[in-house]
Chains A and B, each alone.
Chain A
Amino acid sequence: MRNPSQALLWSTFKISWPVLLMQVAGVITVFFLIELALGSNEDSLSLIEVADGIIIIGLIFLYSVTLHKSHSIARTSSALGFPYRTEFSFPVSTFTLLFIPLLYFCVLIEAAVFFPGMVVNLFYFNVEVSVLPFGFIVFQFTILTLMLTWWTNSGLASIVGWFIALVLYLNDLLMPDFVRAENSWIVSAENPADYIVALFFTVAMFVLTYFGVSQQRSGETLINFGSNLFSSAEQGAIRDILPLPIAVCPTNAPVAAEFWKESQIHGMYGALLGGLAGAAMTLAIFATIFFFVGNGPDPKNAGLLALPLYALVCVGLTISMYGVRYKNGTPIVSLHDRTTPLSTAKLTLIRISVSLTSALLAGVIMYGTLAMLGPLLFSNFQNLQSEFLEILAIFSGIGFFDLALRVFLTLSAFLTALLLLATFFTWTMLHNRLFSIGIAFVPAYIFLWSVSLMGFYGSENEGAHNQAIDAIFANHLWLLVLLIPVSGVIMLRDLLQDQVLTQAQMWRMLTIGIVIAGLNLIWLFDADHYGILGRDIWVVQMSYLVTQGLLPLLAVILALWSSNKIRHG
């Protein structure tokens, strides 16, 4: 390598080219399969939109991997700020240090659109994939996201930066207002001058990022709010920030001490901060939309807005449930945690109970705050409240048993979802590459089936299309029917072999799981939610519903199995 720029380029290329190849190959394959299934004809245009979705999913995947990779190069303890920190000591200018990776990642993601687009244009369909305008969107999206991530290592300043960017975006200042020609991929800006405005803000952002990185290079922080609230990646940091009393660690029993430790990291402090932050973010976004749209958003949208934010809070509170976290760019499991003299079953139970209670508590805090502050700030919140009350009304006017059953099953479903999500994220952290491939494979597989079935049923008729989609799920239910009990049995066998569970504990757990599955069936049949009674595919559906009810049991078995694997390798 002749110069620092080449060295930087080489090190970045080395870690990202397989992802690019996968993306290009994946998109081309999907188009090949469409071609194979339907052949080139004008009627298949609607499929382009489906394929469009596949490309977007692929891009998000590629983009997230690229961001992750760019951070893992640096092996820094914090994910905030410029990731090429080890290169700060290299004899290279800050401009080169910033410009080379920025350019490389833009080119990488452009290539991920451009090459498949070219191939599609050349070989498949009589439609044009508009590489250039679409390319501008991708370029703008990539460069802005990277710069917004890199310009400061202050968490609070970063959030403010993202917020300002959102405001600029809503005013069409960062991205021109694109229109898309009917039945085509061609998109263009309504006013060509918009490109110049967008580029002006991009250049301004580059200058800001350059100064930000220069500051980071000399150990400073551009726009430091003096708070480590969001920049500290350390566990338990929240309790030092909140003005709350800190409980004393009990010394009388190991279980009590472990419960104390988990509570300090994932307990009340996190729930309080997460709940308040979720409410504040919802109100902030609500206010932004209210300011720009004028009359305020539809209450339904506001409700939809709060839900993903709450989901984010839940992910934040449960993601390190198994003690896996990123340090220096690599996933680590603390040796201290792994050598805690407590059985894996006890450790898992304590972690699950603390994390899930926190997630519930955060929900109560978040929605409670929204319910109290929302109506004071926005008139539309009255509508949202009445809609929320309508949802709650489902629970009114029913008998005690039904009410208890519904509340119990709702809670059980919620906690199961959280547990599965936490387990999924943990394994994703531990086996990033394997899971990335898996995630990329799933939409392609679903798409392949939908295309095949659409080919079979015909694509002109929307009813037939829906039938085809229904058929996909009906034909795949057996996979879940098999997967849930078989995986459960395999994991239970491992747990018994490693003496994580005794036989008596296993039977107790199975009994509770089967009771929950039974209660789930009672509820389903009581309301006939899926309209399954009397249908031809009743046996498959029935098996599916039984196994679906076993999900809470499977989630707990999976949690124990995962803890055991993580602890003992």
Chain B
Amino acid sequence: MSELVVKVHNLSRSFGKTKALDCIDFQASRGKVYGLVGANGAGKTTLIKHLLGLLRAKSGSVRIFGEDPVKQPERVLKHIGYLSEDRDIPDWMSINELMRYTSAYHGGWDPSYADELLDTFSLDPTKKIKALSRGMRAQVALICAVAHRPDLLILDEPSSGLDTVVRNDILNAVVRTISEDGRTVIFSSHLLEEVERLSDHVTMIHQGRVTLDSSLEMINKNHHYSSIRFSERQHALPKLEDAVSISGEGRFWSVIHQGSVDSFGSTLQNIGGVIVESRHATLEEVFVYKIGREDLRDHTQITEGSE
């Protein structure tokens, strides 16, 4: 198998007049964790459906383990563990039946690992799926997704609608999967803290386009949040080349900027400002800047352009 587990090239998809994906390029290498972030309707789930072969690539191409998931569903899907947002599993089966059924498809099914997770989650294997709570269903679906130790684990909003305890259970199981060498994880989430905690690489999607595709390390390294102070009141700030988002008033302003803090500090000094405090920008701050609401963006642009 190739080291490149997922390769999406120039993928576009429209539903009626709505462009869900617009010339997307995305790659995932073996042994890394990829976080897909974006607002509702950004195109994350559409991309995941293409990875699973649930949607045919109308334009562009999708390759998983070097294969087309539409043409080779059997070969591709048996190496994938998938947890859908709505935990779609057969309601009428008992947990035990679902485990047996799922194990038949995956040669690598590890019964002791499945039992261990059942114990951890305190699930009764004789219970019917339809009798389970939302959180328990998520736990059962997760066991089915990870107990065969898949080469690629795809999680679509794994924490959506779950309480803190179940969310932690799920994240711990994902962490355990990651800790095993060579496993690749792609997961979409609204919870940016989660993405920050787990991901090596972050892909931000907005209105079907990739707006940021970088390792978390690079994002952290390149984006800073600085509190700045001027000696005199400012109605608007002059243009700061590295700044991507500015807010504040009077003498005190907050800026998210790219590049090094030193370089930004020198630029600031030239216009009479100093950095009071600086830290790496959180993913949430970068997210708001990159794919935040249009009105926020407009505000930033006005501020930036009002020198």
A residues adjacent to B (C-beta < 8 A): 234-237, 239-240, 248-254, 256-257, 260-261, 264-265, 334-336, 338-344, 346, 498-499, 567-569
A477 to B47 CA separation, bound complex (whole angstroms): 46
Partner of A568, one of B55, B82, B100: B55
> With a CB–CB cut-off of 8 A, which chain A residues contact B97?
249
Q: Which 3 A-B pairs have the closest CB atoms?
A: A236-B92, A257-B104, A341-B77
* A-B contact list, 23 entries, CB within 8 Å: A234-B91, A236-B91, A239-B92, A240-B92, A250-B104, A251-B100, A261-B90, A335-B84, A338-B54, A339-B52, A339-B77, A340-B105, A341-B76, A341-B77, A344-B73, A498-B71, A499-B72, A567-B53, A568-B53, A568-B54, A568-B55, A568-B70, A569-B56
Q: Which residues of A contact B77 (CB under 8 A)?
A: 339-341
A342 and B92 in contact, given A568-B54, A568-B56 (Cβ under 8 angstroms): no
Binary flags per residue of B112-156, CB closer than 8 Å to A gives 1, else 0: 000000000000000000100000000000000000000000000
The reply to whether the CB of B288 lies closer than 8 angstroms to some CB of chain A is no
In the complex with contacts A339-B77, A341-B105, A567-B73, A235-B90 CB distance below 8 A = yes
A240 to B93, CA, bound (A): 10
Closest to B84 in A: A335
Instruction: Please measure, in the bound complex, the distance between the C-alpha atom of A265 and the C-alpha atom of B54, giving whole angstroms.
Output: 23
Q: Give 1 or 0 for each of B89-106: 1 = CB within 8 Å of chain A CB.
A: 111110001001101111
A261: B residues at CB distance < 8 A: 90, 101
Q: How far is the CA of A250 from the CA of B97 in the complex (A)?
A: 10
B74 interfacial by beta-carbon distance below 8 Å? yes
Partner of B78, one of A239, A248, A341: A341
Asked whether any CB of chain A lies closer than 8 Å to the CB of B88, the reply is: yes
Shortest C-beta distance, A338 to chain B (Å), equals 5
Evaluate contact between B104 and A251: CB separation under 8 angstroms.
Answer: yes
How many residues does chain B have at the interface if contact means C-beta atoms less than 8 Å apart? 32
- By the criterion CB–CB under 8 Å, are A236 and B90 in contact? yes
List B250-264 residues whose CB lies under 8 Å from chain A. Answer: none
Known contacts A237-B92, A336-B88; decide if A341 and B54 are in contact (CB<8 Å).
no
CA distance A252 to B100 in the complex (A): 10
Q: Choose one: B73, B91, B92; the contact of A341 (CB below 8 Å).
A: B73
Nearest B residue (CB) for A332? B88
Whether the Cβ atoms of A498 and B104 lie closer than 8 Å is: no
Compute how far the CA of A514 lies from the CA of B76 in the bound complex, rounded to whole angstroms.
34
Which residues in window 49-70 of B have CB below 8 A to A? 49, 52-56, 70
Contacting pair B101 A257 (CB below 8 A)? yes
Asked if B104 contacts A256 (CB within 8 A), the reply is yes
CA distance A71 to B80 in the complex (A): 37
Q: Are B106 and A264 in contact (CB under 8 A)?
A: no
Question: What are the residues of chain A within 8 A of B71 when measuring CB–CB?
Answer: 498-499
Are A248 and B54 in touch, CB under 8 angstroms? no
Expressed in whole angstroms, the minimum distance between the Cβ of B51 and any Cβ of chain A is 11
Could you tell me the distance in whole angstroms from the C-beta of B115 to the nearest C-beta in chain A?
14
Partner of A336, one of B56, B78, B89, B106: B89
Chain A residues contacting B54 (CB-CB under 8 Å) are 335, 338-339, 567-569
Q: In the complex the two chains form, what is the Cα distance from A335 to B72 in whole Å? A: 17
Out of A234, A342, A344, which one reaches B130, CB within 8 Å?
A: A234
Docked-complex contact B56 and A235, CB < 8 angstroms = no
Query: Which partner residue on chain A sits nearest B74 by CB separation?
Result: A343
Decide: B105 and A257 in contact? CB cutoff 8 A: yes
Interface centre among A234, A250, A569 (most CB of B within 10 A): A569
**How far apart are A516's CB and chain B's nearest CB, in angstroms?**
28
Nearest-neighbour CB distance to chain A for B18, whole angstroms, equals: 15
Q: Which of A236, A237, A252, A498 contacts B70 (CB 8 A)?
A: A498
Cβ contact within 8 Å between A260 and B105: no
Given known A-B contacts A234-B91, A568-B53, A568-B54, A343 and B73 have beta carbons under 8 A apart: yes
Chain A residue contacts of B82, Cβ below 8 A: 335, 339
The residue in chain B whose Cβ has the minimal distance to the Cβ of A237 is: B92
Contacts of A265 in B (CB 8 A): 92
Q: How far in angstroms is the closest Cβ of chain B from A406?
A: 39
Instruction: Give min CB distance, B30 to chain A, whole Å.
Output: 20
Cα–Cα distance between A371 and B84 once the two chains are bound (Å): 49
B117 → chain A closest CB, angstroms: 18
- A sample of 7 more A-B contacts (CB under 8 A), given A234-B91, A498-B70, is A236-B93, A237-B92, A254-B105, A335-B88, A341-B77, A342-B105, A569-B54
